[in-house]
Amino acid sequence: MSAVSINNLAITFDKQVLFKELNLSVPFGYWVALLGRSGVGKSTLLRAIAGLEKNGIQQGNINTQGKIAWLAQQDSLYPWLSILDNVQLKEYLTHRKTKETKQRAESLLNAVGMTAHLDKACYQLSGGQRQRVALARTLMQDADIILMDEPFSALDAVTKLQLQNLSRQLLADKTVLLITHDPQEAIRLADQIYILQTHLDTKDISFSQPAILSEPIHLQGNAPRDLHQATLWQLQQQLFNQLIGKDENAL
């Protein structure tokens, strides 16, 4: 049994078929990256897995085993709440904050390197610091499956690397489905990579055909990986070629 299982899925958005007969299986405890160009439908698929895109599903089914948490590109911190209350957001909204939940939030903020910033307001935090708080909030939910929608794409190169490493460390025992358009990020973090591609219909260049999922690419070694190995550089180039080569008319 898989943590996430998608069978014969078809999704339509704004009268356009994004996916048709899509199948995907995510093993327990794996990091799986869905790599694709902007507009191919990656985020829509993630929303469907989270149960937030039900109206567009025309056929098929999605099965998940365990509690789901979401880590998005936008940190979505509430500026009128303290950093601690942002991490305890569920407990805050349900009036279930306790001494224990506060201690757990503080421990998680320490784990993501934010202990020195607890007294700051959210607007005083940098983009990387805000995403660290968002990561702590995700960990606070103690979910089994983490859906990550390009959570590092808005960060500078150094901060991105730090947050990638930290996330891989703190979510090592979770099942993670990572949406990204960056081949390097997919190679550094994932156990398996799938490429989500589409190409223009040759009869009507204004209409894109449904996206197709590649066969899985299995990566060896422990993540996060350093990309100094020649084989990983070659794989990165291969992924770029696959992303570009089958969709040249979209450039």
pLDDT score at 199: 62
Indicate if the alpha-carbon torsion angle 31, 34, 38, 43 is positive or negative: negative
C-beta of residue 127 within 8 angstroms of C-beta of residue 155: yes
- Which of 136-140, 196-200, 228-232 has the least mean pLDDT? 196-200
C-beta of residue 180 within 8 angstroms of C-beta of residue 46: no
Instruction: Please provide the average confidence, as pLDDT, over all residues in the chain.
Output: 90
pLDDT score at 159: 92
Q: Which carries the bigger pLDDT value, residue 251 or residue 102?
A: 102
Residue spans of the domains in the chain: they are 4-36+72-202+228-250
| pLDDT confidence band for 223 (50 / 70 / 90) | very high
Instruction: Match domain 4-36+72-202+228-250 to its CATH number in 3.90.1150.10, 3.40.50.300, 3.40.50.1820, 1.10.10.10.
Output: 3.40.50.300
Compute and round to an integer the Cα radius of gyration of the chain: 19
83: which strand partners? none
pLDDT score at 203: 46
pLDDT score at 244: 82
pLDDT score at 15: 79
* Mean pLDDT value of segment 64-75: 93
Dump pLDDT digits (tens) for 150-207: 999 989 999 999 999 999 999 999 999 999 999 999 999 999 999 998 764 444 444 4
Q: Which carries the bigger pLDDT value, residue 245 or residue 36?
A: 36
DSSP state of 225: P
Neighbours of 191 (CB within 10 A): 20
pLDDT score at 106: 97
Neighbours of 31 (CB within 10 A): 25
Does the pLDDT of residue 122 top 50, yes or no? yes
